A and B are shown apart, each in its own frame.
Chain A
Amino acid sequence: MNKIVSKEFFSENVVRLEIEAPRIAKARRAGHFVIVRVDEKGERIPLTISSADASKGTITLVVQRVGVTSRKLAELEAGDTIADLVGPLGQATDVKKVGTVLACGGGVGVAPLLPIVEANKKAGNKVISIIAARTRDLIILEDQIREFSDEVIVMTDDGSYGEKGLITEGMEKVIAREKIDEAVIIGPAIMMKFASEVTRKHQIPSIASLNTIMVDGTGMCGACRVTVDGKTRFVCVDGPEFDAHKVDFDEMLMRLNGYKDFEKDANERYLKEHQ
């Protein structure tokens, strides 16, 4: 169990891991995530299930190298085993036929967006996807998103690929052009904050999938708590998806930075030891 079946680099820092996890592959739905602990000294981190193959008994995770744990994960090879993998966790995406869905993914947020795009397409919606990143190297899963979208817009901040500009600019263009019935927004917290401002302005019902700090992922600690509609909610059990217009993104951003110094130190230590 938890054996890595295959590994593929999307770019220098973004890797896709296909992992043997038959029960999770069978039980998971779009929107679900897993908690991973790489090795005996490892921390527990949440990762959204990007896709799964129930007949093969595998799930796919997409990892961007940002800190110690994601580096450790990216260094594993096919045949290696992850110490602990638990899931599927969280509430599955509530996918209904609504008409036209605007799917907005920023950076590695495209990985968790993929199963939602797929589910929306299969539910009979017209799906327009905008995938955006800082630069060309960070655009991932474009072909897979295309497979389940009626239209795909690719955007980079520096214009190195697709259209130049921020995701919000792409969203404004699509919204100006046609009626959008629902938006799904997944990416870095700051991107979700500004993308939800756009859909709020146009009164488009929007879902955001939140990526807070987690420890257990089963509701027993509250590390992942956020304020939604004035109430404290736990992302791991109540979410990870919430009405984007009711999320207090400023508070979420603040809480995400809570361990920044530790993360930086740990990362530097790790890089020093592994050079």
Chain B
Amino acid sequence: MDKNDILKQERDAAWRKELRGKIKNKERTNIERVKMPEADPTERRRSFIEVNRGLSAEAAMIEASRCLDCANPTCIEGCPVEINIPKFIKNIERGEFLEAARVLKETSSLPAVCGRVCPQEKQCEASCFYTRKLKKPAIAIGHLERFAADFERETGNISIPERASAKNKKIACIGSGPAGLSFAGEMAKRGYDVTVFEALHEIGGVLKYGIPEFRLPNSVVDVEINSLKEMGVKFETNFIVGKTATIDDLKEEGFEGFFVGSGAGLPRFMGIPGENLVGILSSNEYLTRVNLMEANKEDSDTPILKGKRVAVIGGGNTAMDSVRTALRLGAEKAMIIYRRSEQEMPARIEEIKHAKEEGVEFLTLQNPIEYIGDEKGYVRQIRVQRMELGEPDASGRRRPVPVAGSEYLIDADTVVVSVGVSPNPLIPQSLPELKTTDWHTLVVDEENLQTSVPFMFAGGDIVRGGATVILAMGDGRKAAEAMDHQLSKQVENAV
């Protein structure tokens, strides 16, 4: 039976029919979209508490009743891991919250994470019938996903997906970020013996070192990692594949399939004069010191520069995370400096809104060209040039062009550079036969995510460059399916 037949069959279940019959579609579409309760901006700007507070059960059930349980649920097409969206939402509508959580786990390894950090407005919610046909605000799919996952966690009734019978095959997963975790979960479900190798001392990749507590608490990530452990996934921290052991070493130890999810963790700098002054750091360093090393806490040995005037260069989510972190570390002035206009900012609209509410200043159409330091080498000023937008470039966004004679100085004692990342070179360096692109991403066949080395698959930012958590998870899931297919075929051939 193909996917669509299963969806149809499930939609025809008696309880779904009954729910559909209960309220008229017209009434459903007249309900207003729920608003996510948020911590008060004046209080939260100095605290690491989570900004979005989650929905109450009542609010979630009302929001769930907006969903029309479409015969052709286009929302699912918008989800990179193809969550059965109507099925989990209708379970919320009828009050079966734990069942809703179980549905999420059928295809997603980290629902509490995705409900918080996915750009739903560009994915599932963009494909919702409300957006597409009714020109009304979409069902708050992300909020509902978060509600179901949080309900399960908070009530302590965590379900562990069923596993196929053990296949007795060892699989190595390189990197424990969203791609790796998704891959590992899928392979464990399929009965493989999976070990995840992580270079840092904590599991989770960007979910731990990058995304701050006020957007994604580490405790939420840990609960989802624990579910994977209970499914039998093994984790080895402080293990750098290619350094601590080579791919060949691991093959000798019996690993048959490899998935590379080592991400794009190398920060880019702009290469402008003064960029190595003290007080100028990459967003990766800034966020790692706070999120992973807890430098904001009294009892941590890791120091952090608590600037009074902090400038963050860039307009992506990482830039927003950095500038909002600066406020929480006590900055009097926290600025975003971005070379295009706000319209072109790659950050989520919600993050920009939250940053503004908290008092972040936006200096758009401006670009740093030099940093000026004091006699001790500490950064004191930024020479900034104003920009205007010219013709669209290859990315389709209008190219920023410097305005002659527009330079001026901004006082700053801390600068966080957040202008992008490059793929991690460790795996390609250790395996020269692995094909890479000019941008140092791994070459994979799009269908199966298989690299030029037959036993190796790859996904997430190491293939895409800097992208999103959910695309990485989608890749992990797709690669698991392909690797399972390949290894099962080998077994058949051997018989």
Whether, in the assembled complex, A89 has its beta carbon less than 8 Å from a beta carbon of chain B, the answer is yes
Instruction: List the one stretch of B9-17, B280-288, B396-404 in contact with chain A.
Output: B280-288
Interface 0/1 of A246-271, CB less than 8 Å to B: 00000100110111001100100000
A sample of 8 more A-B contacts (CB under 8 A), given A43-B293, A218-B426, A251-B276, is A23-B239, A86-B200, A87-B244, A223-B281, A251-B377, A255-B278, A258-B305, A266-B301
Are the C-beta atoms of B303 and A263 separated by less than 8 Å?
A: yes
Are the C-beta atoms of A41 and B300 separated by less than 8 Å?
A: yes
Whether, in the assembled complex, A166 has its beta carbon less than 8 Å from a beta carbon of chain B, the answer is no
A-B interface contact total, Cβ < 8 Å: 114
Are the C-beta atoms of A219 and B281 separated by less than 8 Å?
A: no
Contact for B240 among A218, A257, A263, A266, CB less than 8 A? A218
Question: What residues of B have a CB within 8 angstroms of the CB of A219 in the complex?
Answer: 265-266, 424-426
Min CB distance A233 to B, Å, is 11
Q: Name the residue of chain B whose CB is nearest to the CB of A227.
A: B276
Min CB distance B373 to A, Å, is 8
Chain A residues 33-62 with CB under 8 Å of chain B are: 37, 41-44
Are the C-beta atoms of B282 and A84 separated by less than 8 Å?
A: no
Categorize the interface residue count of chain B. 35 or more
Categorize the interface residue count of chain A. 35 or more
Question: How far apart sit A184 and B276, CA to CA, in the bound complex (Å)?
Answer: 26
Given A223-B285, A232-B276, A262-B303, are A218 and B199 neighbors across the interface (CB < 8 Å)? yes
Question: What residues of A have a CB within 8 angstroms of the CB of B243 in the complex?
Answer: 27, 87-89
Are the C-beta atoms of B284 and A220 separated by less than 8 Å?
A: yes
Min CB distance B368 to A, Å, is 15
Are the C-beta atoms of A222 and B200 separated by less than 8 Å?
A: no
Interface 0/1 of B284-305, CB less than 8 Å to A: 1100110001100001111101
Are the C-beta atoms of B303 and A220 separated by less than 8 Å?
A: no
Residues of A within 8 A of B (CB): 23-24, 27, 37, 41-44, 68-69, 83-89, 215-216, 218-223, 225-227, 232, 237, 251, 254-255, 257-259, 262-263, 266
Question: How far apart sit A73 and B200, CA to CA, in the bound complex (Å)?
Answer: 20
Question: What residues of A have a CB within 8 angstroms of the CB of B244 in the complex?
Answer: 23-24, 27, 86-88
Question: How far apart sit A169 and B199, CA to CA, in the bound complex (Å)?
Answer: 43
Question: What residues of A have a CB within 8 angstroms of the CB of B288 in the complex?
Answer: 215-216, 220-221
Are the C-beta atoms of B238 and A86 separated by less than 8 Å?
A: yes
Whether, in the assembled complex, B245 has its beta carbon less than 8 Å from a beta carbon of chain A, the answer is yes
Instruction: List the one stretch of B26-34, B267-275, B307-315 in contact with chain A.
Output: B267-275
Given A215-B288, A220-B266, A222-B282, are A86 and B201 neighbors across the interface (CB < 8 Å)? yes
